[in-house]
């Protein structure tokens, strides 16, 4: 039901191309996964997603637990039927969302008590409840419930969060009830190499279909993020996919691929699009600047997304400045397509033995 086949390794970096087989399709890696927190990628229909050629999308168990409730989604036949999306889906456990509610939650070894910032209602999630929620949602890949330490964080508190993550993992393994869902454990340990090594070894001891690196993109500089990834990856199994959570700039993705990462997700392309920021081969741009007022070229020359094939910067700028939703939709289509396509190009370069050159050219592009 689940298998990962490595097809090619770069001889000059740790980049690799593979295929991860799931119940709803084969995922060709490396891959960027758009985030649909509330069971929809913001500003996009499934037709839009198909246009970006996204292979897999995310939903968030924490948010769906609160609204509309995992039992309702289960009654609808699970997320694939609920969303009418029949490609692979991954659900995040909610650990990161709980982490972000610093002033509204209390953590102990049993689980997390928290207040819903929207309704004010009190809730509790622990590893068993997280598995119940995610089993009901029915995604192809589900994440272990973990505790993400903030940045900066002192050694003792980071160690405590890591050890709790390990204890929670094995409770998740015991509570996980479905063989058609792959449970991915998550490495924690903050910026401390000895903790990252310990965590990776514990995580790798749990027989799983894939492994994730968490606790990055929580405020640390890019060089620290890269150092954490580079140090951690060698401790994870070679024959399983590796997922770097919450990372989403083009540079971050390329850096991750070069260090042996296979899967990425981030809300950045959709969030940035709604604020007028878009990716190009010459770096990030803002559609609202006056330079684009009479620019009748596409958002990015050579891009074959729907927005670039059908509309100009001038038109999209007008829509965004007038706060027309269509402007945000077109920008979102472009940004997601850009990252999905970047990973497709990286995969092609790996298979052709040219990734090292490809990586150098992309990272040297103007505006990076």
Q: What is the DSSP string of 300-363?
A: STT--SHHHHH--HHHHHHHHHTT-HHHHHHHHHHHHHHHHHHHHHHHHHHHTT-HHHHHHHHH
Q: Is 119 within the bounds of a domain?
A: yes
Q: Is 192 within the bounds of a domain?
A: yes
Q: Is 322 within the bounds of a domain?
A: no
Judged by DSSP in three states, 46 sits in helix
Q: Is 365 within the bounds of a domain?
A: no
* Secondary structure percentages of the chain, helix, strand, coil, to 5: 45, 20, 40
Which pLDDT value is given to residue 79? 98
Range of the domain at 203: 3-273
Q: Is 138 within the bounds of a domain?
A: yes
Section 251-267 average pLDDT: 98
Reading the block at residue 129, the tokens are: 């409840």
pLDDT > 70 fraction of the chain, expressed in percent and rounded: 99
> pTM value?
0.97
- Does residue 368 carry a pLDDT above 60? no
- Does residue 100 carry a pLDDT above 80? no
Residue whose entry in the numeric block shows the structure tokens 């999905």: 340
How many structural domains compose the chain? Answer: 1
- Does residue 366 carry a pLDDT above 60? no
186-187, strands of its sheet edge to edge? 31-34, 263-266, 242-244, 211-213, 186-187
Which pLDDT value is given to residue 95? 78
Q: Which of 47, 92, 140, 156 is catalytic?
A: 92
- Taking the alpha carbons at both ends of the chain, their separation in whole angstroms is 40
Q: Which of 140, 252, 255, 265 is catalytic?
A: 265
CATH number at residue 170: 3.20.20.105
Active-site residue, 265 included: yes
Judged by DSSP in three states, 71 sits in helix
144 confidence band (pLDDT: 50, 70, 90): very high
Which pLDDT value is given to residue 103? 79
Q: Are strands 89-92 and 141-143 parallel, antiparallel or unpaired?
A: parallel
Active-site residue, 294 included: no
367 confidence band (pLDDT: 50, 70, 90): low
Q: Is 332 within the bounds of a domain?
A: no
Q: Is 301 within the bounds of a domain?
A: no
204 confidence band (pLDDT: 50, 70, 90): very high
Residue 122 pairs in a beta bridge with 115
Which pLDDT value is given to residue 341? 98
pLDDT, the chain, mean: 96
Q: Is 13 within the bounds of a domain?
A: yes
Section 321-332 average pLDDT: 98
- Does residue 10 carry a pLDDT above 90? yes
pLDDT digits (tens, 9 = 90+) for 22-73: 999 999 999 999 999 999 999 999 999 999 999 999 999 999 999 999 999 9
pLDDT digits (tens, 9 = 90+) for 71-90: 999 999 999 999 999 999 99
- Does residue 171 carry a pLDDT above 80? yes
- Does residue 254 carry a pLDDT above 70? yes
- Does residue 360 carry a pLDDT above 70? yes
CA 45: distance to chain centroid?
19
Task: For 213, list phi and psi in degrees, rounded to 5.
Answer: -110, 115
Q: Which helix (H) or strand (E) holds 155?
A: helix 155-175
CA 117: distance to chain centroid?
23
Residue 123 pairs in a beta bridge with 114
């Amino acid at each position: 039901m689940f298998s990962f086949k490595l097809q090619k390794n770069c001889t000059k970096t740790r980049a690799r191309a593979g295929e991860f087989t799931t119940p709803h399709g084969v995922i060709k890696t490396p891959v960027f996964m758009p985030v649909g927190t509330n069971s929809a990628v913001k500003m996009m229909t499934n037709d839009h997603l198909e246009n970006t050629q996204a292979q897999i999308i995310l939903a968030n168990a924490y948010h769906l637990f609160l609204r509309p409730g995992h039992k309702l989604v289960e009654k609808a036949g699970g997320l694939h039927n609920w969303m009418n999306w029949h490609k692979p889906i991954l659900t995040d456990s909610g650990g990161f969302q709980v982490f972000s509610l610093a002033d509204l939650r209390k953590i102990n070894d049993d689980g997390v008590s928290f207040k819903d910032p929207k309704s004010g209602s009190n809730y509790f999630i622990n590893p068993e409840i997280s598995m119940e929620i995610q089993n009901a949602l029915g995604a192809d890949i589900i994440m272990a419930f973990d505790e993400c330490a903030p940045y900066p964080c002192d050694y003792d508190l980071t160690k405590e969060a890591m050890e709790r993550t390990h204890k929670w993992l094995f409770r998740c393994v015991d509570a996980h009830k479905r063989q058609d869902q792959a449970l991915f454990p998550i490495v924690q340990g903050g910026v401390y190499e000895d903790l990252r090594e310990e965590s990776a070894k514990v995580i790798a001891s749990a027989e799983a279909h894939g492994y994730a690196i968490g606790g990055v993109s929580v405020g640390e500089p890019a060089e620290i993020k890269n150092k954490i990834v580079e140090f951690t990856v060698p401790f994870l199994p070679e024959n399983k996919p590796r997922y770097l959570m919450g990372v989403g700039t083009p540079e971050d993705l390329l850096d991750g691929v070069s260090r042996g990462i296979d899967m990425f997700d981030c809300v950045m392309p959709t969030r940035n699009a709604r604020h007028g920021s878009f990716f190009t081969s010459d770096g990030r741009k803002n559609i609202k600047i006056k330079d684009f007022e009479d620019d009748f070229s596409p958002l990015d020359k050579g891009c074959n997304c729907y927005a670039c094939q059908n509309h100009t910067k001038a038109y999209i700028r007008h829509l965004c400045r007038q706060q027309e939703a269509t402007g945000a939709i077109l920008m979102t289509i472009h940004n997601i397509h850009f990252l999905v396509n970047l990973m497709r190009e990286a995969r092609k370069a790996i298979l052709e033995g040219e990734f090292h050159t490809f990586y150098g050219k992309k990272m040297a592009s103007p505006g990076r």
